[in-house]
Amino acid sequence: MNKGFFARALTNKHEYFLSFAPGRIEFLGNHLDYNGGTVLGMAVNAGISCLGIPANDTLITMTSEGLEDAVLLGQINCIEKQTGKYKWANYPLGVLQELQKRNLAPTKGFHLYYTSNLPTAVGLSSSAALELATAVTLLQLAGKEVSPGTLASICRDAENKFVGMPCGILDQGTSAFGKNNSLVKIDCREETYESVDLPQNTQAWIFDTGIKHDLVDSLYSVRHQECKDALSIIQDKGSDITCLSMIEKEVLKDADLKEKLFKRATHVCDEQARVNQFCKGLESGMPPESLGKLLQESHQSSSQYFENSCEELDYLAGLLNGHRNVHGARLTGGGFGGAVMAWTQDLFNATEAQAISDEFQKRFDRKSRFYRFLPSNGARKETL
Ligand code: GLA
């Protein structure tokens, strides 16, 4: 948190509300969330802080530290979708609108100030962190409280309905329920959450391909639609499953889907099995080196069946999965660019990460930026 930026915003003002929401790494369960599956997310030790100062009128302003000249001005009862340099404000504005629908929003104006130590566009879901941080601050401004589950749904609805991105609950759920040294296990059909302990000293590394993926414009929505299409064909054939992640291998074989939809459904079916195996394995104390194989398989499946990988992601995953100190590595998040995550304990270090990045540079003539994260606590109120 940049305290200096917040202190400047607070000159001569005394009343404030502060919050922090972490980014997340999708640990396992690629594209399962909107298919009603169970996914594993890890909240990271970096995120977005949001300072809220009440106003006496109905004016609202939103200022991001990185974009100091881009202060969005608006009125509390006139929420309009933004374009161009204010596009980032659609996430907080969407949250405000969802809170208003539920009578949970402040009724007077306010000023919001944001700082972030979360790298953007590398699959850490800065958008969910922005939504959650905004929601926790706005709720304080309104004098209201909600459960972490409601917080996650409000923010997911903001992204689906206002931003227009048909994402599932993985990002917001993980940012809401994160816990030190644990994964967040989300049953996306029931929207229920559990913490799953990780082996000691777990670390997760992010290696960025440098390919920027703007989810709103990417093939994400196409994949979402393909999964829906596969489900409705399977249902038309008499199956009573209500979401694609419930599909069983035998039913899938008999469903007679065309190749593309068959591949998508195969990924969803197998990925769900891997998540289940991973959770059982963790509980029964299976060694991380063996469990990591499931992450490797997940990457293969995303690449071959879900077809949301690319050459750079495959190359990084290949290097990392071949490294003796990496338990498993896979593309994380939407895909089509973005980043690979690698699960390690303390044996893997920055020198080894640098060597991976150097190999990447030899092949693609640009660096792969990398970051190390620890599993951390979820969205919360803060003080200065
Ligand atoms: C993005 C979305 C998530 C999830 C992943 C893929 O990160 O925001 O909801 O669908 O892609 O698993």
Q: DSSP labels for 277-291?
A: HHHHHHHTT--HHHH
Ligand 1: nearest atom to the Cα of 32: 12
171 Cα–ligand 1 center, Å: 7
Q: Do 180 and 235 belong together in one domain? A: no
Ligand 1: nearest atom to the Cα of 169: 9
pLDDT band of 140, cuts 50, 70, 90: very high
Token digits of residue 343: 């699960």
CATH of the domain at 119: 3.30.230.10
240 is catalytic: no
Q: Do 213 and 136 belong together in one domain? A: no
Distances (CA, A) of 378 to 48, 82, 137: 11, 28, 14
- Does residue 216 have a pLDDT over 50? no
Q: What is the per-residue pLDDT across 330-377, written as a single tens digit (0 to 9) for each? A: 999 999 999 999 999 999 999 999 999 999 999 999 999 999 999 999
Average pLDDT of span 315-320:
98
Q: Do 181 and 242 belong together in one domain? A: no
Distances (CA, A) of 271 to 25, 227, 336: 17, 14, 18
Mean pLDDT lowest for which of 7-11, 193-197, 212-216, 369-373?
212-216
What CA–CA distance (Å, rounded) separates 63 from 111? Answer: 8
User: Max Cα separation, the chain?
Assistant: 70
Q: What pTM does this model have? A: 0.94
CATH of the domain at 279: 3.30.70.890
- Classify residue 334 as left (phi > 0), alpha (psi -120 to 50) or beta: alpha
Q: Do 157 and 216 belong together in one domain? A: no
Q: Do 117 and 253 belong together in one domain? A: no
Q: For a pocket test of ligand 1, which of 25, 28, 31 has the largest count of ligand atoms closer than 8 A to its C-beta?
A: 31
Q: Do 34 and 151 belong together in one domain? A: yes
At residue 214, the pLDDT reads: 59
Catalytic residue among 33, 157, 171, 208: 171
Q: Do 139 and 229 belong together in one domain? A: no
* Domains contained in the chain, number: 2
What CA–CA distance (Å, rounded) separates 239 from 256? Answer: 13
Q: Do 90 and 215 belong together in one domain? A: no
Q: Do 55 and 136 belong together in one domain? A: yes
- The CA-to-CA distance between both ends of the chain, in Å, stands at 9
Range(s) of the domain holding residue 183: 3-198+376-382
Q: Do 210 and 83 belong together in one domain? A: no
218 Cα–ligand 1 center, Å: 12
Collapse the DSSP code of 245 into the 3-class scheme (helix H, G, I; strand E, B; otherwise coil) and give the result. helix
Q: Do 153 and 216 belong together in one domain? A: no
Place of tokens 């929505």: 221
Ligand 1: nearest atom to the Cα of 33: 10
| Cα dihedral 151, 217, 27, 369 sign | negative
Q: Do 290 and 237 belong together in one domain? A: yes
